[in-house]
Structure 1
């Protein structure tokens, strides 16, 4: 299959991506816009999904979020959810300009943090035909509280506010590791970072911005766009109970696929199952 390096303008920042075309593609074919989680880059396993989707007849556009990987943007390693939502919509716009793409058959696939973006964009942008949200973040505030223990939260909040003051003084943004030693995230990053692209750092403001982001608030507005949620039944990174709560709010058509594992298992040991679930949904609603 053909893979092409591309760049496109997303709200004033040039984003880098890989564009896949299916073998023996018709003149116009459907395309899936794909993006990764909180601090991950596209080189960390997204090609596994894109290649499988392309073999099944779909074009795929995967890209690095602004401030990460090969994409532009500043501050580096800052995850702003609302900028990423707008960038996902810009990726949809770019895809619809491609001469070999059927403009009316553009889907979204996102995982973890970008799974939350799929829910949000799916509610806001009806140009999108079909949605797959894998182990999605649904509540930034609750996720932040689950990541930062209650006995450390007040002190951590002081650190976030002090970072605001330092930035106002012209000092560099404060940062913190995204994957802590011995964590599930570190285990996954070491397994999938085949090129050494992952730098394991986010700005402190990324965590403050996480607290402002609630994809669950948009779920009721997704229908009638078809929604598949792929969840892991032992997910504690973006706790699975909240994902079930979000799914219950969604209108039809929708489907929930529950896989037996932790948050990152759909990327690794359960990769073929997560790919098959997405392909079945795209075959039903995009192809």
Structure 2
């Protein structure tokens, strides 16, 4: 599979990634724009999804979020969901300028936190002609109460306030681990499978990943409500793929959100938990996504 390095401007911040050309294309082809979830970098299996899309005759643009991996941006390791949504739109603009792209046939793919972003992007950007949202966050506030013990929520909110006061005084943003081996330790993603997947995947294929994010990123997580946009995606075709046993972005929340979406839409329940979509369940998740894009973007 031939790919090339890319970079593009996102209103003053350079974002970097890879372009995968559609196999067998004899002219401009559909292009899928994709990036990763909370704190993850493109080496964490985005390449295998891009290869699957390319093998089906679809171009793929994959990139690292601002402040992460190969992309520029400050402060490092900060995750602003609104900025990431806007960067998806910058990536769509970039993809539209490529000679290989038919700008009338652009799809967006996202997973976990970026699975949330593509719901928003598809609702507000009509250049998107098909969307796939895999194991998505749909409500930051509901997810907070699903992940954090009730007796810990007050302390977490107090830490947000302390961090705000410190930043106001000129201090750097406080940091928090993304994952922790201790299920009761401080972490943005406090589940055992999060610790296992991130640490194992970093060792295997993503040495650029760092186990830290700003505490402010977690606060912005709690403010983010992509489900508010889901009904406005129509008439763009939506494929939603929750995992059967997902307790990081709970399955029931995604299914409830799906009921609020309008046609055309389809739901595919992936096997296993949140992170199985990338490895053991990759064949199921990639095939469903590829088939959806081919159906709605190929002539």
Instruction: Give the structure-1-normalised TM-score.
Output: 0.97
Superposition deviation, residue 195 in structure 1: 3.4
- Native 8 Å contact 1:11 1:86 kept in 2: no
Give me the whole-angstrom Cα distance separating, in 2, the residues matched to 1:223 and 1:244.
17
Give the SS at the match of 1:187: helix
Match of 1:34 in 2: 34
**Counterpart selection for 2:284 from 266, 273, 277:** 273
- Native 8 Å contact 2:23 2:58 kept in 1: no
Give me the whole-angstrom Cα distance separating, in 2, the residues matched to 1:150 and 1:104.
47
Match of 1:152 in 2: 152
Cα displacement string for residues 128-170 of structure 1 (whole angstroms, at most 9, x for unaligned residues): 0100000010001111222221111111111111111111222
Match of 1:130 in 2: 130
Give me the whole-angstrom Cα distance separating, in 2, the residues matched to 1:54 and 1:170.
47
Give me the whole-angstrom Cα distance separating, in 2, the residues matched to 1:95 and 1:229.
23
Match of 1:185 in 2: 194
Match of 2:185 in 1: none
Give me the whole-angstrom Cα distance separating, in 1, the residues matched to 2:285 and 2:114.
16
Extract unaligned runs of 5+ from structure 2. 183-191
Give me the whole-angstrom Cα distance separating, in 2, the residues matched to 1:22 and 1:129.
17
Match of 2:269 in 1: 258
**Counterpart selection for 1:286 from 277, 284, 297:** 297
Superposition deviation, residue 30 in structure 1: 0.6
Match of 1:231 in 2: 242
Give me the whole-angstrom Cα distance separating, in 2, the residues matched to 1:279 and 1:128.
16
Superposition deviation, residue 179 in structure 1: 1.2
Give the SS at the match of 1:211: helix
CA gap of 1:212–1:195, structure 2 versus 1, over 3 A, is closer
Match of 2:260 in 1: 249
Give me the whole-angstrom Cα distance separating, in 2, the residues matched to 1:228 and 1:166.
42
Give me the whole-angstrom Cα distance separating, in 2, the residues matched to 1:264 and 1:192.
11
Extract unaligned runs of 5+ from structure 1. none
Give me the whole-angstrom Cα distance separating, in 2, the residues matched to 1:248 and 1:228.
12
Say how many residue pairs are matched.
Answer: 287
- Native 8 Å contact 2:89 2:121 kept in 1: yes
Give me the whole-angstrom Cα distance separating, in 1, the residues matched to 2:18 and 2:3.
6
Give me the whole-angstrom Cα distance separating, in 2, the residues matched to 1:248 and 1:281.
19
Residue 118 of structure 2 corresponds to residue 118 of structure 1: yes
Superposition deviation, residue 26 in structure 1: 1.7
Superposition deviation, residue 103 in structure 1: 0.4
